[in-house]
Chain A
Amino acid sequence: MSRFLSLAPALLVLVGVLALALPALGQTRGLGRPALPEEIKAWDIDLRPDGHGVPPGQGSVKEGEAIFLKQCAACHGEFGEGAGRWPVVAGRESLVNENPEKTVGSYWPHVTTVFDYVRRTMPFGNAQSLTDGEVYALTAFLLHMNDLVKEDFVLASDTIAAVALPNAGGFYDDDRETTEKHFWGTEPCMKNCKAEVTILNRARALDVTPDDKGAPKVE
């Protein structure tokens, strides 16, 4: 007991020195400030395929068409075919084609992703200006343009996570370390590795390199 008492001041001093030199977690906890529920609500706009973040509301193909023609078609085309070089948003082309067109209909795996994307960044140049109802309607119309739903379809918070897109099963996790295992561990040839070399193709045959005179147009 008496030994403890006599040690105590020394320990306190030691702890004090350490705290000055090495702020522990207790001190980084004091950095920043608590996020208020209203603040989290204002910024937490993300959706996930499992239904996380899906906001209340609904919208029909018909309503979506009217908004799309006014706010989206100038870039994406009346039928989602893409005006000029702007992105195509409709089409069900096969993914094994040369230059396949990746759209909501042909490639995107989840409807929640369409909602999330349109809500956070479209229309291009006026992001986060749409109401949730408008985004439901636009998402419904995008599905319709991709021949995935009929024209009387209504998309709603309680159905969005259940709508399946054709390419939902088209993805698998990075497998390079197995399917490309042969890129590892082989000592490459250094001398007389091949008999002859032929040029297979050159950029000049397809010279799309920009220069200061202006780039060639590829539409």
Chain B
Amino acid sequence: MESDRSHRASRRRFLGGVGAAVALLGSGRRAGAATPDPAITELPDWTRYLGEGVASRPYGRPSEFEAHVVRRNVAWLTASPESSVNFTPLHDLDGTITPNGLCFERHHSGVAEVDPAKHRLMVHGLVERPRVFTVADLKRFPGRANRVYFMECAANSGMEWRGAQLNGCQFTHGMVHNVMYTGVPLKAVLEACGLGPNASWLLAEGADAAAMTRSVPLAKALDDCLLAWAMNGEALRPEQGYPLRLVVPGWEGNMWIKWLRRIEVGDRPWHHREETAKYTDLMADGRARRFTFIMDAKSVVTNPSPQAPLVHKGTNLLSGLAWSGRGRVKRVDVTLDGGRNWRHARLDGPVLPLSLTRFYFPFNWNGRELLIQSRVIDETGYVQPTKQALRQVRGTSSIYHNNGIQTWHVHAGGETENVEIS
């Protein structure tokens, strides 16, 4: 009986794999089939036999047919996987919330596996009462907050400054995710320690082997920063800073210190490595912008895209994501003809400030080549620039903050690639 079941399961897996491959080749079953569909005329195993019982997956996991929906990395980008990055599979996701296990990772010294019982947060420096908190202490603060925010690495799309490079929105745009954080406003914790009169910046530090540090202006800390212990309702994942992460809404991901253990309050910034040697934007004249914290408005079409080509002629639904570090998405425009003509896309789902926003655009595909772009306008009136317009101001050495308009070239066969157009 036991071996029978596992035989059926592996046969199911095998058939599922073949089915997925055929669909990708574009010969999916069409309306008006001449022969009856065995998916209808034959009784599948899952309709005849009992499925697994409730105890089989105490922590649920996706269907085995979704095994391709994973974070991926680009091995040659970095010397070691501990100082590296992987990417959210945006083309395989919908809605606006990123599942916890698919949120991209960027570490400078690997994932710290922190025992929460031994984790402390120290607040000191220009405060009246330097204090030590456990995560349990933070959970006793009355002002607990739940907020949905996008988090984007400043280097997202950084490979694309000199031209189209990577074939897939997972790789060009996948250093972004969007979850609901639960935590306590940093303001409440700072107030509990009593801010000194000259306090104007703070240094946040992680407990990992990078002891990652960033300087954060006090005004931002008092405005909307959170000390978060949960994402999407459950404890932070280790790779997202378990048990405690700093949330810096709308600002570059590197500042969202993971495994947060220390906050020092000061009267000026620290000019540490990640805000001088890194995360500064080198301009064409050889000088560099620093403290470019805000993530400019950006959008990308996730479907179709190189990893999710078009497979059906006729009615299709284009889908994508838009966001802005300055507030809400006001509008998204889409073009299918390389920017000659644009139409408004439909925003769907919650349109929250500093959060990923989903957009859709239905279109009819007759098998002709398409040059697809999206362009977001945020509530401050910022219009997502073309890559050329960005380069005119910033040159090509900036690495960070590339929010230029992305182009996908859909070929006659549906195959889709990353291009740049005039």
Contact = CB atoms under 8 A, between A and B. Distances in A.
Q: Are A and B associated in one complex? A: yes
Interface of A: 22-23, 25, 27-29, 31-35, 39-40, 43-50, 52, 75, 84-87, 94-96, 98-100, 102, 104, 107-110, 112-113, 116-117, 120-121, 124-125, 127-128, 170-176, 179-180, 183-186, 188-194, 196-204, 206-210, 214-218
Interface stretch (B29-37, B93-101, B161-169, B310-318): B161-169
Contact of A48 (B270, B289, B383, B417): B270
A33 B122 CA distance: 10
Interface stretch (B5-13, B336-344, B351-359): B336-344
B393 A50 contact: no
Contacts of A98: 396-397
A98 to B, nearest CB: 8
B237 interface: no
Contact of B272 (A113, A127, A184): A113
B288 interface: yes
B213 A174 contact: no
Contacts of B138: 31
B109 A175 contact: no
Contacts of B418: 202-203
B239 interface: no
Contact of A127 (B75, B209, B337): B209
Nearest to A33: B132
A102 B277 contact: yes
Interface of B: 72-76, 78-80, 82-83, 108-109, 122-124, 129-134, 137-138, 140-142, 163-168, 171, 188, 191-192, 203, 205, 209-211, 213, 261-262, 264, 266, 268, 270-273, 276-277, 280, 282, 284-294, 296, 306, 333, 337-343, 371, 375, 377, 380-383, 385, 389, 393, 396-397, 409, 417-422
23 contacts: A28-B141, A28-B192, A35-B130, A43-B122, A84-B79, A108-B276, A110-B271, A113-B276, A120-B213, A121-B211, A171-B280, A171-B288, A172-B289, A174-B289, A176-B296, A183-B382, A185-B381, A188-B375, A200-B419, A202-B164, A202-B420, A203-B164, A209-B168
B289 A34 contact: no
Q: Chain B CB within 10 Å — which of A116, A117, A190, A202 has the most?
A: A202
Contacts of A110: 271, 276
A102 B282 contact: yes
Nearest to A127: B209
Nearest to B125: A44
A85 B393 contact: no
Given A95-B287, A184-B380, 12 more contacts: A32-B134, A40-B130, A43-B205, A48-B270, A85-B76, A95-B282, A116-B273, A127-B211, A180-B385, A197-B422, A200-B422, A209-B167
A86 to B, nearest CB: 5
B163 A191 contact: no
Contacts of A184: 380-383
A215 B109 contact: no
A123 to B, nearest CB: 10
Given A85-B78, A113-B271, A198-B422, A100 B276 contact: no
Contacts of B82: 124-125
B294 to A, nearest CB: 8
A206 B389 CA distance: 23
A206 B205 CA distance: 39
Contacts of A189: 342
B122 A35 contact: yes
B76 A197 contact: no
B192 A35 contact: no
Nearest to B292: A174
B165 A206 contact: yes
B132 A127 contact: no
Contacts of B389: 183
A107 B271 CA distance: 13
Nearest to B122: A35
A161 B409 CA distance: 53
A208 B78 CA distance: 14
Given A188-B375, A203-B418, A215-B74, A113 B277 contact: yes
A208 B422 contact: no
A110 B268 CA distance: 15
Contacts of B287: 95, 170-172
B210 A121 contact: yes
Contact of B271 (A48, A125, A199): A48
A48 B293 CA distance: 20
Contact of B83 (A49, A124, A197, A200): A124
A44 B263 CA distance: 10
A46 B215 CA distance: 11
A183 B383 contact: yes
A199 B420 contact: yes
Contact of B142 (A23, A40, A173, A192): A23
